[in-house]
Structure 1
Amino acid sequence: MHMACYFRRSIASKLSRALGRSEDAFISALCAIPVSKKQQSPDFRLSVNTLLRNGILPTNGDLQAQTEALASQLKQDSVVEEIFAGRGVIHFRVSRNLLVQKVLEQLCQERHKFGVKSELFDGLKKGTTVVEFSSPNIAKKFHAGHLRSTIIGNFIANLKESLGNNVIRVNYLGDWGMQFGLLGAGFQLFGCQEKLKKNPLQHLFDVYVQVNKEAENNEVIGQAAREFFRRLEQQEHQALLLWKQFREITVEEYQQVYKRLGVHFDIYSGESFHQQQAQEVVQQLQRRGLLKTTEKGTGVVDLSSAGDMSSYSTVLRSDGTSLYITRDLAAAIDRKERYNFDEMIYVTDKSQGIHFQQLFQILLAMGHSWAERCQHVPFGLVQGMKTRLGEVVFLEDVLDEARARMLRNMSQSKTTKEMVYPEDTAEKVGISALIVQVNKFDPTLKNMTYQPNILFFKLTYLLYETKNKQRDFKGPLGSDYKFDWDRILQAQGDTGVFLQYTHARLCSLIHRYGDGEEGAFDPSLLLDQRSISILQHLLRYDEVLYQSVQDLQPKHLVNFLMTLSHLAASAHRELPVKGSPQAVAQARLRLFGGVCTVLANGMKILGITPVEKM
């Protein structure tokens, strides 16, 4: 049981006795209170409105009167030492000695499992989750949108896995379709095997750009592209050989980039795997009476509620070749048969929202009720991600740029530790900066509300200073934003570098003096406000993970880790280990060791590899 649950259970037992309901009715209604910088705060709160909505209290009374009456029925004890009514909420303050003891004992016992064993997760169905993410197009540049899909999808997969799900990570490559007709025709006109061996992705990209340009004014090239794709669909030997060469060299290069990012996939799939199954899908649609033929000869599925073709999805070209959505239908059906998943999550940019809406709608019309457990997680676009040499062509350019800039910053910093492999550290810190920055949202749109049926989200938030200097983390997570190299590599402020810097400082302290876990410790030595604030904040960790898995938004975890890092930085300054009495030093080391563990755990879920020196 997570230590927050220990305290929640103690409070719930009081409510159970007072109101005659089971303890479980109150567990999810009790929330750990965010730490306040200005004043000491209680630890948990109960919203009386929640009890009203759940039918636990009558709805015909005065809210404040009910709040005060219920608070007066709850008695203090050795666990909960203070209970008082606020405006529509009841606040609970737990024993400070118990808070210190329970949190640090559990951190010592559970370490990387800390927070994930909470009873908050008991109601979540743990099963097989398929996450499709990254999904670049073969022989085309790996742009910032794919970087973003990679980072967000990796977070979702890590989160689900940490909570006990069997996660299958799928990279569904764009390796089929009319663009390969263009590329195949283009390579026959402008390609060079020698250049392909020397710099494969760049050469394929150059060929693709050139053939697109030529096709704009030359219908012969357009016809050649259609003919090449038709040959591919008919499994013509020479066309397939060329396509296989393009696919193999592209996947090999992408795997090197994924290795740098610390991302892995269980399956490298692609549209090409489902070309035959796509034709079977068309036949199934036909048998069910769902396939209509337009005047132009294309095959469509009517999606209108009135059956008047006011809304439809095209699933077949007039020449009989499949489309992207046809192959997606086949892929979804195949995955269900192959993995029997409990849920499937697609991570792509927001421009594909209509595509997935139609995909799920067609699957349901075909009788696949499991499509209700499929969801699209969209995100906005990144603007301004350029290197000093100009516009980024491949993700590798972005990673090289992040490493080079971070290495330069480290070499100029007076606090940088001497290390054996500075390039490796610069790479990890640079990537953590990208992970936190690449998904920031626009604070100018902060007053817009979330749309409950659309999972807008980004990997983190932009630090926004209002006139009263309060941070504002509201906003539509699908908004586009400007990328800023200088901001993301700052060691101060809410950046990935700051998370790494805090973790490295704590590691340095622990390596020098130990983690304080040997032998007993005296909880009364950690009753100062800095220590208590950290422990109060750690009470929220299971709630933060619960929020994250509910809406698949990483902002909850990022926000939590940033606050933890700020609290740890203040405590590190004001609670010295060196020069303190041994018992005090041991207690503080245990506290800092616990913070270091949670910080590392959370960073790993985000896809960040923690460094121990920088």
Structure 2
Amino acid sequence: VSKLVWEKKKSKFHATSAIFTPRDIAAAIQRKATYNFDKLLYVVDNSQSDHFSALFSILKLLDYKWFSTLRHIKFGRVLGMSSRRGDMVFLSDILDEAKHRALEKIRSSPTTKVTKEMEEVADVLGVSAVLINDMKSRRRNDYTFKWERAVQDKGDSGIVLQYSHARLANLQRNCGVTLDLNCDLSALLEPEALYLVQHLAKFDGAILEAYESLEPCVLVQYLFSLSHLVGRANKVLVVKNQDKAVAQARLLLFHCAKNILSCGMKILSLKPLERM
């Protein structure tokens, strides 16, 4: 194979490519025969770009027409990772550390309402913090990991998304209004309501863009914007003790926002919390 590529393309490959490419060629052929895939995605960091370029070129030269369905999904590296156990970090260390820090924040917060399930909530918050911190930037970019940024409860973070969802769930439980999916929405006249409605309508577009670009950050940034708009609307669009028609319209709007937020979080592998 190496001789064929050298003669036809007059190119050189790194030593790692010379070692691994024949095996990867066989694996790609076997996967096509077994699964007849529409696309084959290799999710490997940026440093392997030359290797996959060589692999795809060889398959093309070997006249496998489906070589164009193969794609290298590149991602950057995480810099500055450390834990209480030392410099060598495993996934269990990261999740344990995230849970520990989230639990500390819960215990020290004057607004904490969860007591019985505090450990479970801290575990969910820790996972959410790590996942969102990793997915909020373009996947090809290296980034420096900072614990304080990942577990922050202000700005753009996984914990903030969880807080927004739990707050919407709490509003629905305690507003004193029955949800009516067929209520009159003409009462939604405030700019905060209209901005929120417009953003909710963009959810399908955000999902499609994230899918086509294979960039989770597109959906993450959409959810951050949704969280900010919900926060602003929550200050203006009071539901409790309002005229029934107005209260029902506002409740339905917040109900839709909660559903979209929940759906987006689940797509990103987060478990939306009902209480915090």
What TM-score, normalized to structure 2? Answer: 0.92
Q: Report the counterpart of residue 61 of structure 2 in structure 1.
A: 365
Verify: 1:307 aligned to 2:3, yes or no. Answer: no
The secondary structure found in structure 2 opposite 1:303 is: helix
Could you tell me whether the CA contact under 8 Å between 2:165 and 2:274 is conserved in 1? yes
The secondary structure found in structure 2 opposite 1:376 is: strand
Could you tell me whether the CA contact under 8 Å between 1:381 and 1:481 is conserved in 2? yes
Q: Report the counterpart of residue 84 of structure 2 in structure 1.
A: 388
Could you tell me whether the CA contact under 8 Å between 2:177 and 2:247 is conserved in 1? no
User: How do 1:316-465 residues align onto structure 2 when only pairs under 5 Å count?
Assistant: 323-438=19-134, 459-461=135-137
Q: Distance between the aligned counterparts of 1:385 and 1:542, measured in 2?
A: 35
The offset of 1:409, in angstroms, is 0.5
Q: Distance between the aligned counterparts of 2:17 and 2:230, measured in 1?
A: 58
The secondary structure found in structure 1 opposite 2:8 is: coil
Residue ranges of structure 1 left out of the alignment (5+ in a row): 1-290, 292-299, 318-322, 439-458, 462-475
Higher mean C-alpha deviation, range 561-570 or range 508-517: 508-517
The secondary structure found in structure 1 opposite 2:119 is: helix
Q: What is the percent sequence identity of the aligned residues?
A: 39
Code of the residue aligned with 2:5 in structure 1: it is L
The offset of 1:561, in angstroms, is 0.6
Code of the residue aligned with 2:8 in structure 1: it is G
Q: Report the counterpart of residue 172 of structure 1 in structure 2.
A: none
The secondary structure found in structure 1 opposite 2:41 is: strand
User: How do 1:567-578 residues align onto structure 2 when only pairs under 5 Å count?
Assistant: 567-578=229-240
Q: Distance between the aligned counterparts of 2:17 and 2:184, measured in 1?
A: 72
The offset of 1:595, in angstroms, is 0.2
Q: In the superposition, relative to structure 1, how do residues 514 and 592 fare at CA in structure 2: closer, same or farther (>3 Å)?
A: farther
The offset of 1:350, in angstroms, is 0.5
The higher-RCO structure (CA 8 Å, 6+ apart) is: 2
Q: Distance between the aligned counterparts of 2:81 and 2:126, measured in 1?
A: 14
Verify: 1:555 aligned to 2:217, yes or no. Answer: yes
State the Cα RMSD in Å. 2.2
The offset of 1:313, in angstroms, is 6.7
Q: Distance between the aligned counterparts of 2:15 and 2:177, measured in 1?
A: 62
Could you tell me whether the CA contact under 8 Å between 1:575 and 1:588 is conserved in 2? yes
The offset of 1:513, in angstroms, is 3.9
Q: Distance between the aligned counterparts of 2:171 and 2:264, measured in 1?
A: 20
Q: Distance between the aligned counterparts of 1:600 and 1:612, measured in 2?
A: 10
The offset of 1:348, in angstroms, is 1.2
Q: Distance between the aligned counterparts of 1:516 and 1:369, measured in 2?
A: 59
Match of residue 202, structure 2, among 540, 559, 563: 540
Could you tell me whether the CA contact under 8 Å between 1:313 and 1:358 is conserved in 2? no
Q: Report the counterpart of residue 269 of structure 1 in structure 2.
A: none
Q: Distance between the aligned counterparts of 1:369 and 1:577, measured in 2?
A: 60
Q: In the superposition, relative to structure 1, how do residues 515 and 429 fare at CA in structure 2: closer, same or farther (>3 Å)?
A: farther
The offset of 1:367, in angstroms, is 2.0
Could you tell me whether the CA contact under 8 Å between 1:419 and 1:613 is conserved in 2? no
Q: Deviations over 1:218-272 (max 9, x none)?
A: xxxxxxxxxxxxxxxxxxxxxxxxxxxxxxxxxxxxxxxxxxxxxxxxxxxxxxx
The offset of 1:389, in angstroms, is 2.9
Q: Deviations over 1:148-207 (max 9, x none)?
A: xxxxxxxxxxxxxxxxxxxxxxxxxxxxxxxxxxxxxxxxxxxxxxxxxxxxxxxxxxxx
Q: Deviations over 1:286-313 (max 9, x none)?
A: xxxxx3xxxxxxxx24535x73744247
Q: Deviations over 1:105-141 (max 9, x none)?
A: xxxxxxxxxxxxxxxxxxxxxxxxxxxxxxxxxxxxx
Q: In the superposition, relative to structure 1, how do residues 413 and 301 fare at CA in structure 2: closer, same or farther (>3 Å)?
A: farther
Q: Report the counterpart of residue 494 of structure 1 in structure 2.
A: 156
The offset of 1:579, in angstroms, is 1.6
Q: Which has the higher helix share?
A: 2
Verify: 1:485 aligned to 2:147, yes or no. Answer: yes
The secondary structure found in structure 2 opposite 1:430 is: helix
User: How do 1:5-20 residues align onto structure 2 when only pairs under 5 Å count?
Assistant: none
Q: Report the counterpart of residue 156 of structure 1 in structure 2.
A: none
The offset of 1:539, in angstroms, is 1.9
Residue ranges of structure 2 left out of the alignment (5+ in a row): none
The offset of 1:402, in angstroms, is 0.3
The offset of 1:314, in angstroms, is 6.4
Q: Which has the higher strand share?
A: 1
Q: Distance between the aligned counterparts of 2:87 and 2:178, measured in 1?
A: 50
User: How do 1:54-133 residues align onto structure 2 when only pairs under 5 Å count?
Assistant: none
Code of the residue aligned with 1:546 in structure 2: it is L
Q: Report the counterpart of residue 590 of structure 1 in structure 2.
A: 252
Could you tell me whether the CA contact under 8 Å between 2:237 and 2:250 is conserved in 1? yes
Q: Deviations over 1:552-571 (max 9, x none)?
A: 11222111110110000111
The secondary structure found in structure 2 opposite 1:409 is: helix
Code of the residue aligned with 1:544 in structure 2: it is A
Q: In the superposition, relative to structure 1, how do residues 369 and 408 fare at CA in structure 2: closer, same or farther (>3 Å)?
A: same
